[in-house]
Structure 1
Amino acid sequence: MKHLISGLLVPAVMAAGLVFTSLPTSAEAQMRELRFAEFGPNRGTRAAAIEWLDQEMRDRSGGTLGLDITWGGALLGAKTAAQGLSDGVADMASIVPVYAPGQLVAYEVTDTIQFGDEWVGMMATYEFMTTNEAALDEQKKANIKYFGNYTTGPTQLLMRDTAVATAADLDGKTIRATGAFVPALEAKGASTVSLSQPQVYEAISNGSVDGSTTYYYVAKAYKHYEVAKYITELDMGQVLAFGIGMNMNTYMSLTPEQQALVDELGREFTVFMAEKMYNSRTGVKAELEAGIDGHQITMVQPTPELRAALVEIANADVESWKQKATEKGMDAEGVYGAFEALVAKYTAERDANGYPWDAKSN
C-alpha cells in the first residue's frame, strides 16, 4: 500500500510542478509592450532613436514597459497614422499632422517659421505641445497625447536628372512637396504633388515626379540615392510637425509611475533626437557625395536669388495656416505668437550656453 501511494503521489507532484513552472513570474506578468507603429524602415537615424527609446523604457521601468515596434507602415502608414492612433490601432505611433488635415492644426504651426536649427526647433516644439492650451485641447479631442518630437532638419531638393540652381530650372518640373514649399515651388513654375516619403522612391524611379523636397537622412534611409542624381542645398526650414504620439486611453491605463516615466522619456527622446540629427547632417551628406553602393549624388548650390525667393514665398504661407486655425476656432495670432516666442527663447539659450551635448564633450 505504501508503494502504491508513493507511485500515485510522485506523478501527481511532478504534474503539479510542471503546472507551477509554466506560470509566469511576477515580472513577466507585469511586462507590457506598447504597440508602436512606424511608417519608415528599420534603418537610419529615426529608427535608431526609436530602438534607443525601447531599450530605455525597458531599462528604466525595470522590465515592465517596452515597445513592440512594427516597421515600414505594416500597421499604420504615414497618411493613416494619426487617425489610427486616435482609434487605438496602435498605442504609440510616428505621426505627421499634415497627412491628417484638420486633426492637429495647432501642431502644424511649428512648420511655419523658416529656420534650420534642429535643437532650437525641437525644444520649442516640445514645450509648445506640452504647455500650450490650444495644442493640449486639440490633443484631447483627438484622443492623442503628444510624446516627443522628430525633425527633418533643413529642407533640400532631390532631383532625378536635372541640377536645379536657378528659378528657370524649376519651370515645368513636377516636384513632390508639402506645406509651405507647395506655393514656393509653384510660384517658380513647378507643379507639385503630395506623396508620403515611402512613396517617393517609386515615383522618382518611374518618372512620375522629377524630384522631391527632402532631407539628408531621408535620402539615405529610403535609398533615394539609387534613383536620383542631384540634391540642391536649399537649406530651408525644417518640418517640426513630425513626432510621436500616444493613444490617450493607453496613457491613462498606465500606472502613475509609468506615466511619469513616459513624460520624462518624451523630453529626453526629443533632446537625444536633436543631437543625432544635428550630428548626422554632415556625415550623411559626405556619404551621399562619396557614393553608397556605387551611387553618388552631386550637391548643387542654388543662386542666392532662388533661395531668397523661395523663403519669402514660404514665409508668406503663414497666412494659410492662420486661416486654417481660425476656422478651427483658435486664436491664430496668439498661437503663432506663442510658438514664435519659444523659438526666440531657445535661440537665446543656445547662443548663451551652446547645445546640451557640448557639455558632454568637454
Structure 2
Amino acid sequence: MPSSTPFLRRRPALAAALSTLALALPGAALAQQTINITIAASHPTTIPWVGFMQSVFMPEVDKRLAAGGKYKIQWKEAFGGQLYKANATLSSVEQGITDIGWVFSYLEPAKMPLAQLSAHTPFTTSDPRIVLGAMNELIEKAPAFRAEWDKHNVVFLGATASDTYDLYTKFPVKSIDDLKGRKLSAPGILGQWLRGVGATPVDGALTTYYTDIQTGVSDGVVSLATGILPAKVYEVAPYITKVNMGVVFSGGLGINKDTWAKLPADVQRAMREAGAEYSRRHGEDLVARHQTAIQRMTEIGAKQTPPVTVTPMSAADRSKWIAALPDLAGEWVKNNAARGAQARPLLDQYLAAVKARGATPERAWDR
C-alpha cells in the first residue's frame, strides 16, 4: 500500500467514530469567530501610554476572549503616526480611520472643552493614579463628561494621564525671571500655564519638540520626563528645571462607536475590562517611570555638551508662579457655561474626587 495514503482514509470506521466524538464534545467542532480591528496612535510605542496599548490592552483583550473561546481579534497595528498625526487623534477615531485609537484630548480644546478641566487646575497633584482614578470615575458617572466622547462617535475605554510637568530648556533657569519673553513649546491648552511667568507658548507635541528647539522655533518645552526621554529632547534642551506643575488628564483609549455597535457583547465586555486594566497599569507605570526617566536622561546626557543638568525650582519661585496664575479654573467654568454646560458642579466633583484620593491642591481652584 502506498505510504502516501492518509491514515484515516485507510480506516473509514475509525474516521467516522472520531467525527461522531467531535460532535459530542461541547464546542469541539466550533471555530472561533475572527474579528478584524485596527488599532492606531499618532505617537510611537516608545511613548509609554502608547506602548501600553500594545503590551497591555491588546493582550488583556486577547486573554479574556481566549477564555471564552468564541471570538478572537485579528489586530492591525498602525502606531507611530502611520495613519494620522497628533492633531487628528479624535477625528481619526470618530471617522473610523482607525477602530481604536489614543485620543489626545488636550489638543482638542474646541471639541472637548470639558476634558480640559485638569489643564485648568495645575499644581493639584503629582500622582497620576489620582487623576486617572478621578477621571475614569467622572466619565463613567457624570453624563456631561461621557457625552463629550459620545457626540464625537467615540466610546471611551480608559483614561490616560501624564506624569508631572517640568521645564526642559536650552538655557539655564536660575529663577522664574529667566522665563520672561522666552518661547516655550507646550501641548495645546497647557500653554496657558506660562501666563504666570511671562513666557510665550508655542503649540507643539512630543513629536515636534526636538525639531522646534533645534530650529529656534522655541527655547524649550513644558513637558514630562516619560515623554522627553524616548523623544531625546534632552539632547537639544539639556537644562531640566524640576517645577512639578502637576499631572493632567491627557485623553484615553477610544473606539469608533459604529465599530463598537457591531461587536458581540462578550467582545465589548473584554474591551471595557482591558481598558480599565490598561488605565490602572498605566498609572502605576508612570509613578515608577518618572524618576527613572530623569535619572536616565542625566546618565545619557552626562557627556554631551552642555551636559544634562537637573535643578529644582526654589520653593519661593514655585509659590510666585502659582500665585501669579490667573483664575484658570474660573475661566474654564465661565467658558463652558457660555456653551450651556453646568461646569461649576463638574469642577467641584473633580476636586472632590482628587481630594478623596489623597491630593492636596497647592491652589484652591474651587474658591
Range of TM-score over shorter length: 0.7 to 0.9
User: Compared with structure 1, are the counterparts of its residues 111 and 192 closer, same or farther at alpha carbon in structure 2 (3 Å cutoff)?
Assistant: closer
Q: Does 1:329 align with 2:335?
A: no
For residue 293 of structure 1, report the CA deviation from its aligned partner. 9.3
Map Cα deviations across residues 251-294 of structure 1 (whole Å, 9 max, x no partner).
22111111111111121111110111111112111111111595
Task: After superposing the two structures, state which structure 1 stretch, 258-267 or 182-191, moved more.
Answer: 182-191
2:90 to 79, 82, 97: 82
C-alpha distance in 2, partners of 1:181/1:100?
12
C-alpha distance in 1, partners of 2:140/2:325?
26
Task: After superposing the two structures, state which structure 1 stretch, 190-199 or 54-63, moved more.
Answer: 54-63
Tell me if structure 1 keeps the 8 A contact 2:155–2:256: yes
For residue 46 of structure 1, report the CA deviation from its aligned partner. 2.2
Map Cα deviations across residues 236-260 of structure 1 (whole Å, 9 max, x no partner).
1212132211111122211111111
User: Compared with structure 1, are the counterparts of its residues 33 and 307 closer, same or farther at alpha carbon in structure 2 (3 Å cutoff)?
Assistant: farther
Tell me if structure 2 keeps the 8 A contact 1:181–1:314: no
Which residue number corresponds to residue 5 of structure 2?
Answer: none
For 1:335, what is the secondary structure of its paired residue? helix
For 2:172, what is the secondary structure of its paired residue? coil
C-alpha distance in 1, partners of 2:74/2:46?
19
Which residue number corresponds to residue 246 of structure 1?
Answer: 255
C-alpha distance in 1, partners of 2:61/2:302?
35
The aligned amino acid for 1:132 is A
C-alpha distance in 2, partners of 1:83/1:313?
36
Map Cα deviations across residues 93-123 of structure 1 (whole Å, 9 max, x no partner).
1112232232222222233333211111111
Unaligned runs of 5+ in 1: 1-24, 349-362
Q: TM-score, normalization: structure 1?
A: 0.83
C-alpha distance in 1, partners of 2:261/2:352?
31
User: Compared with structure 1, are the counterparts of its residues 300 and 150 closer, same or farther at alpha carbon in structure 2 (3 Å cutoff)?
Assistant: same
Tell me if structure 1 keeps the 8 A contact 2:302–2:308: no
Q: Does 1:154 align with 2:164?
A: yes
For 2:243, what is the secondary structure of its paired residue? strand
User: Compared with structure 1, are the counterparts of its residues 266 and 77 closer, same or farther at alpha carbon in structure 2 (3 Å cutoff)?
Assistant: same
For residue 169 of structure 1, report the CA deviation from its aligned partner. 0.8
User: Compared with structure 1, are the counterparts of its residues 26 and 69 closer, same or farther at alpha carbon in structure 2 (3 Å cutoff)?
Assistant: farther
For residue 224 of structure 1, report the CA deviation from its aligned partner. 1.0
The structure carrying a bigger helix percent of its residues is 1
2:321 to 310, 332, 352: 310
Which residue number corresponds to residue 232 of structure 1?
Answer: 241
Which residue number corresponds to residue 11 of structure 2?
Answer: none
Which residue number corresponds to residue 73 of structure 1?
Answer: 81
C-alpha distance in 2, partners of 1:185/1:41?
28
C-alpha distance in 1, partners of 2:321/2:74?
43
Q: Does 1:119 align with 2:117?
A: no
1:142 to 148, 152, 173: 152
1:31 to 30, 34, 37: 34
Which residue number corresponds to residue 222 of structure 1?
Answer: 231
1:102 to 104, 110, 124: 110
C-alpha distance in 2, partners of 1:217/1:65?
30
1:175 to 165, 172, 184: 184
1:4-19 paired onto structure 2 within 5 Å? none
Q: TM-score, normalization: structure 2?
A: 0.82
Which residue number corresponds to residue 15 of structure 2?
Answer: none
C-alpha distance in 2, partners of 1:133/1:280?
33
For residue 91 of structure 1, report the CA deviation from its aligned partner. 1.0
The aligned amino acid for 2:44 is P
For residue 222 of structure 1, report the CA deviation from its aligned partner. 0.9
Map Cα deviations across residues 307-326 of structure 1 (whole Å, 9 max, x no partner).
12323344721122112211
For residue 180 of structure 1, report the CA deviation from its aligned partner. 6.3
Task: After superposing the two structures, state which structure 1 stretch, 97-106 or 244-253, moved more.
Answer: 97-106
- Paired residues in the alignment total 323
Which residue number corresponds to residue 143 of structure 2?
Answer: 133
For residue 194 of structure 1, report the CA deviation from its aligned partner. 0.8
C-alpha distance in 2, partners of 1:61/1:245?
19
For residue 47 of structure 1, report the CA deviation from its aligned partner. 3.5
**Coordinate RMSD, CA, aligned:** 2.2
User: Compared with structure 1, are the counterparts of its residues 139 and 250 closer, same or farther at alpha carbon in structure 2 (3 Å cutoff)?
Assistant: same
Tell me if structure 2 keeps the 8 A contact 1:78–1:196: yes
C-alpha distance in 1, partners of 2:34/2:251?
29
